[in-house]
């Protein structure tokens, strides 16, 4: 008989730190992708805060105050544009470069960023992540991968186009080629990502009515704010518009309607006020630009503080609504407003169903729209109350600033740089909550989903 030897069994290798980290992130991505999105955004903000704390990031070579670094980092990553210090004067080219990168990363969006991270970790987008991303972006479950690719392609293409389009403008201002290229790169990132940061020391006010600057701003803002699912659908069906999905049709109609109404309201209210020294062409240009950028980018050629409070109210409404889903814009989103309006019209007509473009909207869509609007309004109310208590400033200024922060717009009445640290902290929270999204925030904080087998009997309470 041949003698056999039992070879000793080698111990299983311990997983590396990298492997354990991948497994942990993959677990979080599957179990709670909304919390992962919030964590990713928070980590990016903290990382940018640390980078802005580098002394070389300021023009003086001294370390920036921590609250200003945190505020600027949050404003950049949340693509808001509110500032506590002058971007062109306080931050050095290195600091401005960090801000531009923060805007570009933030412009990708919360769910898209989380999807990219989950893909990098697990080499594929998990089913749970696909469901949440599909719900947030209103795309089909199988289209999430295409959406992520579309976001990256559209983002890089838009940045390149804006970069090329803006270089001639800065060259005409007498800048050297290298400086013109740098300003074009920064402003292109700010425009497309609806960031709202301005790198020119004199701001945009000297260029009011300059169509060579405002047309790229308006077009770039619209592309960044209309929503990546809409862009993807329009591109796929560019020759057959009848096949556009319901989200695309609702988004385009609602966005266009609000843009026209905003242009008319701003123009009429400000024609004898902040527009009185402008020519007809300059006034029309300023009103068109303001109606466009009030949706999220926050760029303005006419100082907001010089406008009537009635105009502030119009801008409040435009900012609160914001842009499209899965876009660089904030707010409660135009599809949310459209669903609410359609439900009101259906109720006024006595219709049983809420319909749009030959389609019937399911009841859960209306519930989500109501929840998003109520949660957004509650956050704005909380932020306004807190800032009023901290500062004692007039309600109009405080409400405008809070809505601008929540909607990640960046328009300002000029009070943000003068706020105490506690007031700046309130706006930091509002920017983070507004960029992450009310529905994502609610999903991240939810401990579990309730599924009830037994349903209670129905009874209608008196309404109105």
For residue 123, the model assigns a pLDDT of 45
At residue 86 the predicted structure's pLDDT band, cuts being 50, 70 and 90, is very high
**224-86-217 Cα angle (round to 5):** 25
For residue 377, the model assigns a pLDDT of 95
Is residue 190 within 8 Å of 184, Cβ to Cβ?
A: no
Q: What is the CA radius of gyration of the chain?
A: 24
Rounded to an integer, what distance in angstroms lies between the CA atom of residue 4 and that of residue 209? 92
Nearest one of 133, 154, 155 to 145, comparing CA atoms = 133
Rounded to an integer, what distance in angstroms lies between the CA atom of residue 258 and that of residue 422? 34
Rounded to an integer, what distance in angstroms lies between the CA atom of residue 233 and that of residue 112? 17
Rounded to an integer, what distance in angstroms lies between the CA atom of residue 335 and that of residue 428? 26
pLDDT digit string, tens, across residues 344-361 = 999 999 888 898 998 999
Rounded to an integer, what distance in angstroms lies between the CA atom of residue 322 and that of residue 329? 6
Rounded to an integer, what distance in angstroms lies between the CA atom of residue 403 and that of residue 130? 31
Higher pLDDT, 448 or 257: 257
Between helices 421-436 and 438-445, what is the axis angle to 10°? 90
Residues 6+ apart with CB under 8 A from 256: none
Rounded to an integer, what distance in angstroms lies between the CA atom of residue 94 and that of residue 20? 35
Would you state the structure tokens that stand for residue 395, as one six-digit string?
A: 């309600």
Higher pLDDT, 13 or 401: 401
DSSP string of 369-389?
A: HHHHHHHHHHHHHHHHHHHHH
The residues that bridge with 359 in the sheet, in sequence order, are 356
| Interval 83-93 mean pLDDT | 94
Nearest one of 344, 396, 383 to 366, comparing CA atoms = 344
Nearest one of 344, 190, 196, 317 to 257, comparing CA atoms = 317
Burial 34-43 (b: 16+ CB within 10 A, else e): bbbbbbbbee
For residue 279, the model assigns a pLDDT of 92
Look at the pTM and tell me if it is higher than 0.85: yes
Is residue 400 within 8 Å of 316, Cβ to Cβ?
A: yes
Rounded to an integer, what distance in angstroms lies between the CA atom of residue 262 and that of residue 257? 8
At residue 23 the predicted structure's pLDDT band, cuts being 50, 70 and 90, is low
Map residue 39 onto helix, strand or coil: helix
pLDDT digit string, tens, across residues 418-433 = 999 999 999 999 999 9
Residues 6+ apart with CB under 8 A from 266: 287, 290, 291, 311, 314, 315
CA dihedral 297, 299, 304, 306 (to 10 degrees): -160
Residue 1 has pLDDT above 50, yes or no: no
For residue 103, the model assigns a pLDDT of 93
Between helices 93-107 and 177-192, what is the axis angle to 10°? 30
At residue 282 the predicted structure's pLDDT band, cuts being 50, 70 and 90, is very high
pLDDT digit string, tens, across residues 184-205 = 999 999 999 989 899 988 889 8
Residues 6+ apart with CB under 8 A from 159: 104, 185, 188, 189, 192
Proportion of the chain in helix, strand, coil states, percent, rounded to 5: 65, 0, 30
Rounded to an integer, what distance in angstroms lies between the CA atom of residue 37 and that of residue 27? 13
Residue 2 has pLDDT above 50, yes or no: no
Residue 360 host element (H or E): strand 359-361
Is residue 181 within 8 Å of 167, Cβ to Cβ?
A: yes
DSSP string of 271-338?
A: TTTTTTTS-HHHHHHHHHHHHHHTTTT---SS-GGGS-HHHHHHHHHHHHH-S-TTSS--SS-HHHHH
């Amino acid at each position: 008989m041949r003698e056999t030897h039992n070879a000793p069994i080698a111990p299983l290798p311990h997983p590396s730190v990298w492997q354990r980290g991948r497994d942990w992130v993959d677990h979080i991505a599957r179990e709670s992708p909304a919390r992962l999105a919030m964590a990713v955004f928070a980590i990016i903000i903290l990382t940018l805060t640390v980078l802005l704390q580098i002394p070389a990031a300021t023009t003086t070579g001294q370390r920036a105050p921590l609250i200003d670094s945190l505020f600027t980092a949050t404003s950049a990553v949340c693509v808001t544009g509110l500032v506590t210090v002058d971007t062109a004067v306080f931050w050095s080219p290195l600091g401005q470069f960090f801000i531009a990168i923060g805007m570009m990363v933030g412009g990708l969006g919360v769910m898209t960023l989380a999807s990219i991270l989950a893909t990098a970790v697990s080499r594929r987008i998990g089913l749970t992540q696909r469901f949440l991303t599909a719900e947030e972006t209103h795309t089909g479950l199988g289209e999430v991968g295409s959406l992520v690719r579309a976001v990256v392609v559209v983002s890089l293409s838009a940045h390149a186009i804006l970069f090329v389009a803006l270089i001639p403008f800065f060259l005409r201002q007498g800048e050297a080629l290298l400086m013109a290229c740098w300003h074009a790169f920064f402003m292109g990132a700010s425009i497309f990502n609806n960031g709202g940061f301005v790198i020119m020391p004199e701001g945009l006010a000297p260029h009011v009515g300059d169509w060579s600057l405002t047309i790229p701003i308006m077009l770039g803002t619209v592309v960044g704010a209309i929503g990546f699912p809409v862009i993807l659908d329009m591109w796929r069906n560019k020759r057959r518009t009848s096949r556009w999905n319901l989200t695309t049709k609702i988004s385009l109609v609602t966005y266009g309607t609000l843009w026209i109404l905003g242009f008319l309201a701003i123009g009429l209210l400000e024609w004898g006020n902040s527009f009185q020294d402008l020519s007809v062409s300059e006034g029309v240009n300023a009103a068109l630009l303001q109606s466009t950028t009030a949706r999220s980018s926050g760029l303005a050629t006419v100082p907001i503080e010089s406008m009537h409070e009635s105009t502030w109210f119009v801008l409040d409404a435009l900012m609160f609504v914001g842009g499209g889903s899965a876009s660089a814009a904030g707010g409660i989103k135009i599809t949310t407003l459209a669903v609410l309006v359609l439900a009101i019209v259906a109720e006024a007509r006595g219709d049983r169903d809420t319909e749009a473009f030959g389609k019937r909207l399911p009841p859960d869509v209306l519930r989500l729209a109501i929840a998003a609007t109520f949660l957004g309004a509650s956050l704005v109310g909380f932020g306004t109350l807190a800032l009023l208590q901290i500062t004692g400033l007039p309600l109009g200024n405080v409400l405008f600033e809070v809505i601008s922060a929540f909607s990640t717009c960046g328009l300002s009445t000029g009070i943000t740089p003068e706020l105490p640290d506690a007031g700046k902290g309130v706006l930091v929270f509002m920017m983070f909550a507004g960029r992450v999204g009310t529905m994502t925030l609610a999903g991240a904080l939810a401990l579990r989903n309730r599924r009830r087998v037994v349903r209670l009997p129905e009874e209608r309470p008196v309404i109105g």
